[in-house]
Amino acid sequence: MSKQTLDRILQSQGFGTRKRCRQLIAHGEVTIAGETVMDYRVSFETTGLSFKLFDEAWACREHVYIALNKPANFECSRKASHHPGVLSLLPEQFTWRDVQPVGRLDHDTTGLLLMSDDGPFIHAQSSPKRHVPKVYIAATHDPVTPELIEHLLSGVQLHDEPAPLAAVSCRALDRHHLEIVLEQGKYHQVKRMLAAAGNHCSALQRSAIGLLTLESLGLKEGEWCYLEEDQRNLLVPGTSG
């Protein structure tokens, strides 16, 4: 990041067009270091910069990395069709910043969803070559049996897949819940694997990506937080430290 005029800073942070940002500044809505700044031409070093807009504190960020505890009945799409989009759960300026979901969860699947406006980060996290394990908690219609676990671990054949897909690990949590860890990220994979193994998935939650767990973030359904660098490192295989 670098030194920029205040209107450019606000625009980069998703607070609207340059014209709108200049209006906000002229109306005295922006405070930096306790001082109201009303001249959009004043420049500031963006690294480490914090400001208040409408009395709400913000830190200047070159990119945003977000973890959301996705509720059911929200679509992972910028152009939602049948249900509200997950972006509606975030402040409006993230839409201006072109924040996008990293991969997708089905509308009825809950749990950990990453979002960002950093294209290379999104691409890297979505790449199947990374082999990032994703942990899911599945509720099943029929009881979880040792045979079901073994079937999922040894691999099941899905329609249109050239080879069987196997779980990295799988264990029963109780009579109707299991934890399954996958690396492939195929379309509806958990649900399709359970169906192919002779059961039915009645509810699904993603509880972890890599070593980043939903529990450690402490997010209730619908809540979000920024991911700092140490948390993002938990997403990268081999950097658990």
pLDDT number for residue 240: 42
Percent of the chain with pLDDT over 70: 97
Residue 111 parent element (H or E): strand 110-116
Q: Domains in the chain and their CATH numbers?
A: 3-59 (3.10.290.10), 65-128+212-233 (3.30.70.580), 133-209 (3.30.70.1560)
Nearest to 236 by CA among 110, 140, 127: 127
Q: pTM score, two decimals?
A: 0.89
**Catalytic choice (55, 106, 108, 174):** 106
Question: Rounded to the nearest 10 degrees, how much is the dihedral formed by the CA atoms of 211, 214, 215, 216?
Answer: 60
pLDDT band for position 1 (cuts 50, 70, 90) = low
Q: Is the pLDDT of residue 50 over 90?
A: yes
pLDDT number for residue 241: 38
Bridge partners (DSSP) of residue 111 are: 70, 206
Q: Is 11 helix (H, G, I), strand (E, B) or coil?
A: helix
Q: Is 86 helix (H, G, I), strand (E, B) or coil?
A: helix
The Cα–Cα gap between 31 and 34 comes to 6
pLDDT, tens digit, 9 for 90 and up, residues 137-181: 999 999 999 999 999 999 999 988 889 999 999 999 999 999 999
Q: Is the pLDDT of residue 128 over 60?
A: yes
pLDDT, tens digit, 9 for 90 and up, residues 2-34: 899 999 999 999 999 999 999 999 999 999 999
pLDDT band for position 236 (cuts 50, 70, 90) = confident
pLDDT number for residue 83: 87
pLDDT number for residue 144: 97
How many residues are listed for the chain in this entry?
241
Known active-site residue 142: no
- In this structure, the number of other CB atoms found within 10 A of the CB of residue 145 comes to 15
Q: Is 77 helix (H, G, I), strand (E, B) or coil?
A: coil
CA dihedral for 55, 232, 49, 22, sign (positive or negative): negative
Strands 177-182 and 100-101, bridge-based pairing: unpaired
